[in-house]
Amino acid sequence: MALMKFFFETIRFCIRGFVYALSFLFPYSRMSLFLRRITVFLYTSWIARDFKHFGKNSGVIPFFSLLRGGQYISIGNRCTIGAGVELTAWDSYQGQKFCPEIVFGDNCSIGEGAHITAVISIRLGNNVLTGKRILITDNSHGVFEEGMLDVPPILRSLNSKGGITIEDNVCIGEKASIMPGVHIGKGVIIACNTVVTKDIPPYCVVAGVPAKIVKKLR
C-alpha cells in the first residue's frame, strides 16, 4: 500500500510540475482568450447561415439561450452578441400570423443574457451598446381585459403597441427594459434597471420606472 501510494503521489507530482512548466509557455490569460476566439469563430460559422443577413467580422459567444425566426433577423458588421442571449422573431403564435423583423446596425454589442423579441419590428442603429440581461420587446401576452385574465398567460394572444427603433450611439444599462412602440433618439444613455415606456428624445440621460429624463446633453 505504501509503495502504491508513493507511485501515485509521484505521478501526481510529475503532472503538476509539467502543467506548471507549461503555464510559462502558454499563460492561462492568453490561452483562455485564444480558446474563446476559436469557440466564437466555430459557433458563429455554424449558426450564421440561420440569419437573413450576418455581417462581416460579427460574432456570437456560445451559446444562444434561444434563437427563433433567424430568417427575419439581420446582423450588421462587427457586431458582438453575448452568451445566453434569447433572440426571437415570431411569425406565428397560437394561430396568429406576423411579419416580424429584427435589424442590428454595425458595431452593436449585445450583453450576456439579453432578451430581444419581436412580432413587428425592432431596429437598432449603429454603435448600440447594451449591458447584461436587458429586455427589448415589441409585444406582450394578452391585454388587461375582463375574460382575458381567466386564460392561462401562455395561451393568450400576442399583442403589440408598435415596433421599436433605437438610433445610433445609444447605451442601454444592465437590466433595462425597452417596451413596445418606443423610439429612442441618438446618443441616449439609459440607466440600469430603467423601464422605457415612451419615446426618448436624442442626447439625454434617462432613469427610473418608468423612465424620466434626468439630464439633457444638448
- Bridge-based pairing of strands 204-207 and 189-190 is parallel
The DSSP symbol for 129 reads E
CA distances from 203 to 138, 154, 179, 214 (A): 23, 38, 19, 11
Q: Which of 53, 115, 141, 183 is catalytic?
A: 141
CA distance 167 to 169: 7
CA distance 214 to 138: 25
The strand pairing partners of 60, in sequence order, are 81
- Phi first, then psi: give them for residue 68, nearest 5 degrees: -140, 140
**141 flagged as catalytic:** yes
The DSSP symbol for 21 reads H
Q: In this structure, what C-alpha cell is assigned to residue 133?
A: 440581461
CA distance 25 to 102: 45
The DSSP symbol for 138 reads S
Which residue numbers are catalytic?
141
